[in-house]
Amino acid sequence: MTKDGSVQGFERVSAADLVPGELRSVGFGTGARICLGNAAGELFAVADRCPHSDFPMSKGTIVDDKFIECGWHGAQFDCRNGDVVQGPADDPIRTYDVRIADGAIWVRNKP
């Protein structure tokens, strides 16, 4: 953390109050919407649009404490790396690095 309370290279996007099983849509500095989730106590961040149907992932569900499922057609993605684990999606979902500091959730684009 830097002197001003920020986490170097990360952007503060939310208070760190996500409960297990919760999904939340937040804005990112680039204008993108991100879906924050809590999978059994592990926070993750993915693009808030399903690559298959352009449906908000924040309107989906967390499955088996490790996958996020699109609420429209049931495509599932690994919360950690964005890989498709169940179609109909063919393309992975974008993921972001997540940190918790000073009571907040901080996110950055993966290198």
pLDDT in tens, 46-73: 999 999 988 999 999 999 999 999 999 9
pLDDT-based confidence at residue 1 (cuts at 50, 70, 90): very low
- Residues 6 or more apart from 17 whose CB is under 8 A from it? none
For residue 3, is pLDDT > 50?
no
64: its two tokens: 């088996």
pLDDT-based confidence at residue 32 (cuts at 50, 70, 90): confident
| Of 74, 98, 79, 110, the residue nearest 26 (C-alpha) | 98
- Residues 6 or more apart from 32 whose CB is under 8 A from it? 47, 48
- Other CB atoms within 10 Å distance of the CB of residue 100: 12
Q: Looking at residue 46, what is its pLDDT?
A: 97
Mean pLDDT of 3-15: 75
Q: Looking at residue 45, what is its pLDDT?
A: 96
62: its two tokens: 């967390």
For residue 9, is pLDDT > 90?
no
Compute and round to an integer the Cα radius of gyration of the chain. Answer: 13
